[in-house]
Amino acid sequence: MIRIAATTLAVALALAPMRAEAQFQPTNPECIAGAGPGGGFDLTCRLLGRMLNENGIVTAPMRTTNMPGGIGAVAMNHIQAQRRADPNTVVAVSTGSFLNLATGKFGRWTENDVRWIGAIGADFGVIVVRKDSPFQTLADLVAALKANPGAVPMGAGGTVGSQDWMKAALIARAAGVNPRTMRYVPYDGGGGAMAALLGGHIQVFPGDASEVKGQLAAGEVRVLATLSPDRLPAPFAAVPTAKEQGLDVEWAIIRGVYMAPAAPDEAYNFWVEALRKLSASPNWPAARDGQGLFAFDSFGAEFTTLVKARVATMRELSKEMGLIQ
């Protein structure tokens, strides 16, 4: 009897951490969007909160708090200064945040100073020209860039060093052209760049799949390549990837979340599993697609490795292109 009791006690003690972890549920769940309402961070938080609640994965109402400033820099500083162990709060993140981490725009904070939870989806870069462009393929564009990079005006939302500039720079670099010699015109956003493309002010728009979907379906533009690992669904199904055409270039605009660096393991594990459960929910694909996101599942340790690798690559590219020392 004593042996049985001792064994039972040992099993109970071994299972105790698992039970505690399984029982964790955020009491005041919150998602911080590091920008104003209507942007990508806001979309991430509101979509995530709504779907986690609808699927009963997070039981308490999950609120979104907008905290604009520095494309996530203010939110990062807030977490580090005031919520370093908060188990209830997640923060929206994107590839733009990775780029800012790589270029030091988050101050002393780096990719090693938070706990990376996971991605909820992604958009992908595309190389777009007007329907009557002389560039029929990506090879045509590469040949023109090699002949005279300054004669091919490219433009997108964002200045030199931005995400959209990086897409153009990576294409130029893969073609053997110094990105500093290309002709890049910055616009306030993708809409302005698309108008400039259709108006003939630029010849190439390195944009995002979601923002050109309508114009492609209407036959107003031609997409030379998607910067995705595999072909995207309709209306991009017939568009080859850059890799298919010999240029090793990918650009995923990842949307996901991280949490405080000192958050307890049980909370971190809960949020990782919450995203994993959400990705498997039958109503998730339609909700995700409705916000212009493509499937991109990466959670926990896998997501952490991915983020750190992406930031390291961007840091290397930024140094190579003279954006940072």
Q: Which pLDDT belongs to residue 325?
A: 82
Q: Which pLDDT belongs to residue 15?
A: 47
Number of domains the chain contains = 2
Q: What is the CATH number of the domain that holds 285?
A: 3.40.190.150
Q: Say whether both 159 and 256 belong to one domain.
A: no
Q: Say whether both 148 and 290 belong to one domain.
A: no
Q: Say whether both 194 and 129 belong to one domain.
A: yes
Q: How far apart are CA 72 and CA 35, in angstroms?
A: 7
Q: Say whether both 99 and 201 belong to one domain.
A: no
Q: Say whether both 110 and 130 belong to one domain.
A: no
Q: What is the CATH number of the domain that holds 202?
A: 3.40.190.10
Q: Say whether both 130 and 206 belong to one domain.
A: yes
Q: Say whether both 219 and 287 belong to one domain.
A: no
5 within some domain: no
Instruction: Identify the domain boundary among 188, 214, 245.
Output: 245
Instruction: Identify the domain boundary among 221, 245, 269.
Output: 245
Instruction: Identify the domain boundary among 218, 245, 272.
Output: 245
Q: Which pLDDT belongs to residue 192?
A: 87
Dihedral-angle region of residue 109 (phi above 0 means left; psi in -120 to 50 means alpha; beta otherwise):
beta
Q: Say whether both 128 and 221 belong to one domain.
A: yes
Find the domain containing 204 and state its range: 124-245
pLDDT one digit per residue (tens) for the chain, 325 residues: 344 444 444 444 444 444 434 589 999 999 999 988 888 899 999 999 999 999 999 999 999 999 998 888 999 999 999 999 999 999 999 998 999 999 999 999 999 999 999 999 999 999 999 999 999 999 999 999 999 999 999 998 878 888 888 899 999 988 899 988 999 998 877 888 899 999 999 999 999 998 898 899 999 999 999 999 999 998 999 999 999 999 999 999 999 999 999 999 999 999 999 999 999 999 999 999 998 899 999 999 999 999 999 999 899 888 887 888 8
Q: Which pLDDT belongs to residue 22?
A: 53
Q: Which pLDDT belongs to residue 163?
A: 84
Q: Say whether both 35 and 77 belong to one domain.
A: yes
Q: Which pLDDT belongs to residue 11?
A: 44
